[in-house]
Amino acid sequence: MRTIGVIGGSGLYEIEGLSAIERVRLDTPFGDPSDEYVVGRLGDARMVFLPRHGRGHRIAPHEINYRANLHGMKQLGVEWVISVSAVGSLREEIRPGDIVIVDQFFDRTKNRAATFFGDGVVGHVGFADPVCGALADVLHEVAEPLCAEKGARAHKGGTYVVMEGPQFSTRAESRIYRQWGADVIGMTNLPEAKLAREAELCYATVALSTDYDCWHEDEAAVSVAAVLEVIRKNVALARAIVKRAAERIPATSRTCACPRAAEFAIMTDRNAIPPAARERLQLLYGKYMGTP
Ligand SMILES: [Zn+2]
């Protein structure tokens, strides 16, 4: 049976319709995940849900333990990760209420633990195409008709600027990101997508556009109240996209490159890998580290 992880962002703290629900609290070598994982069945798929900011929205974007969150997904047998994330729009045509299935990121974060490697093991994975194309295709296919029903649009592809926050952008920043060709802006998808790639998980994002950031002359600058209002309307749409995507994701083994993303990543001489690092990375890279 396929196991699909969902990381819910602002406004999405649970998914409805799960049966056989179990709440799982996990330890990881990288610390504590944001909350308990909610594991259940949705149709014939096994679903693993984690609220990125914790229940009650207690954890700020820069405080999220992204490594623990992804390691926990891996422990629970997840292969596909759907990230649901609220974003600001940097384009007139991406209206509040629209969905963007992003395909690129631009990293403006600072001081976040962004890799499983280090402390004795050096590794580099490819990140030229940071989302899983196969999963993004499924998400866009199911999002298009669901958005049309609501008078919204599902945009395929787009560059997501990941800012550090927690403050929103200045107008100068917002205008410059537009000049750079970025499409949406948010605070959480990096290092999340980097860690998913290192963990050989398929990762793609359903970005819910909530506002026009602060570049738009005719619109009020972004505020929490405005964001929450659009999210309230959109969360049902996000849930419907997740549900239909879960039905479409193939039960057969993955054919994309994600499951072998770290096969040639490790540069460290296998004999030089410290025992503690070997133990810490066993779940992720045991198959590539050989025996000491
Ligand atoms: Zn993939």
Instruction: Say which CATH number the domain at 258 has.
Output: 3.40.50.1580
Ligand 1 centroid to residue 287 C-alpha, Å:
19
Query: Is 213 part of a structural domain of the chain?
Result: yes
Ligand 1 centroid to residue 217 C-alpha, Å:
39
Ligand 1 centroid to residue 80 C-alpha, Å:
7
What is the pTM (predicted TM-score) of this model? 0.96
Query: Is 288 part of a structural domain of the chain?
Result: no
For the stretch 261-277, pLDDT in tens is 999 999 999 999 999 99
Query: Is 42 part of a structural domain of the chain?
Result: yes
What sign for the dihedral angle of Cα 259, 108, 9, 58?
Answer: positive
pLDDT at res. 62: 97
Ligand 1 centroid to residue 144 C-alpha, Å:
21
> In 3D, which of 160, 157, 186, 159 has the Cα closest to residue 52?
186
For the stretch 35-80, pLDDT in tens is 999 999 998 899 999 999 999 999 999 999 999 999 999 999 999 9
Helix, strand or coil, per DSSP, at residue 261: coil
pLDDT at res. 79: 97
| Catalytic-role residue among 183, 213, 218, 269 | 213
Domain count, the chain: 1
For the stretch 81-128, pLDDT in tens is 999 999 999 999 999 999 999 999 999 999 899 999 999 999 999 999
pLDDT at res. 225: 84
| Catalytic-role residue among 35, 103, 183, 211 | 211
Q: Which helix (H) or strand (E) holds 194?
A: helix 189-198
Ligand 1 centroid to residue 131 C-alpha, Å:
8
Q: Domain range spanning residue 38?
A: 3-262
Query: Is 83 part of a structural domain of the chain?
Result: yes
CB neighbourhood size of 203 (10 A): 26
Query: Is 39 part of a structural domain of the chain?
Result: yes
Query: Is 287 part of a structural domain of the chain?
Result: no
Exposed/middle/buried for residue 252 (C-beta within 10 Å: 0-12, 13-18, 19+) = exposed
Ligand 1 centroid to residue 145 C-alpha, Å:
23
Supply the mean pLDDT for the chain: 94
Query: Is 136 part of a structural domain of the chain?
Result: yes
> In 3D, which of 164, 145, 162 has the Cα closest to residue 154?
145
For the stretch 191-211, pLDDT in tens is 999 999 999 999 999 999 999
Phi (first) and psi of residue 48, to 5 degrees: -125, 115
pLDDT at res. 32: 98
Query: Is 285 part of a structural domain of the chain?
Result: no
Ligand 1 centroid to residue 163 C-alpha, Å:
25
Please indicate whether residue 211 is annotated as part of the active site.
Answer: yes
Ligand 1 centroid to residue 258 C-alpha, Å:
4
